[in-house]
Structure formats: C-alpha cells, structure tokens
Amino acid sequence: MAFRVEVSPRALKDLDEIAGYIEQQGSFNQAQEWFNGIMAAIRTLEDMPERCLVANESEELGQEVRLLLYGKRNHKYRVYYSIQHKTASRGTVQVLHVRHWARKSLNADQFRELMATRIL
C-alpha cells in the first residue's frame, strides 16, 4: 500500500528553523543539503511507514506516534509522525514534528498539542 505523506505546518516550521540554524553555523549549501536529505528521508515513509519504531512518548498519549531517525552521530534528528489508515488501499502519513535527538523528549501535553494541530 502506498501512503500519502503530509507535513504539518508545525513540522515545516521546525524544518525551516533547523535549516536556518545550520546555515548560520555553516553555510547555505550545508543547510540546503540537510533539508534535501531529510525531505528525501521523509518521502520514504510513502512505503512501509510501519518500519519505524513507535515513539516511547506516545505511550503516555495513548495514540501511536512513530519515530523516523535521520542523520549520523551528533547530527541526528527525530521525525515524529502518525499513520492514518483511511482506506484499505491508501493511507496517510502525517509528519508532526522534527527535533534534534539531543533535545529533551516531548511530554504528554506537548504530544497532545501536536496531535491537536495535525492535518485531518
């Protein structure tokens, strides 16, 4: 089954802020390369989005949120997403949030906020 991937406004804001930081610390080319790479990784969720682990944080929420890891060594990012099975032949992956792996994990209230602002 092929899934449609939708990136929430919140996740787009996250991506933009991270790319801006990378540009400040490095160069426009590094930021562009990072952005293109993470977007390519996100697009892979079209096929088999269930391959990624369920985020530990989703246990508190009571809803399944999965986690795609992108990057290497100290430059890893967590991409939080949910899977919506709308029909037997097609579903939707909704990217909710992107954050650096070293940042503190989301708490239940932050997760609820993400789920409330997702694309329906």
* Sequence ranges of the domains in the chain: 2-116
pTM, entire model: 0.85
Domain 2-116 has CATH 3.30.2310.20: yes
Which pLDDT score is estimated for 89?
67
pLDDT truncated to tens, each residue of the chain (120 aa)? 589 999 999 999 999 999 999 999 999 999 999 999 999 999 999 999 999 999 887 777 777 899 999 998 878 999 999 998 766 667 899 999 999 877 667 666 766 676 666 555
Residues 79 and 76: their CA atoms lie apart, in Å, by: 10
Which pLDDT score is estimated for 75?
82
Which pLDDT score is estimated for 117?
64
Which pLDDT score is estimated for 88?
61
Which pLDDT score is estimated for 59?
76
**One-letter amino acid identity for 24?**
Q
Which pLDDT score is estimated for 108?
66
- Report DSSP letters for 16-28, one per residue: HHHHHHHHHHS-H
**How many CB atoms are located within 10 Å of the residue 37 CB?**
13
Which pLDDT score is estimated for 86?
64
Which pLDDT score is estimated for 73?
81
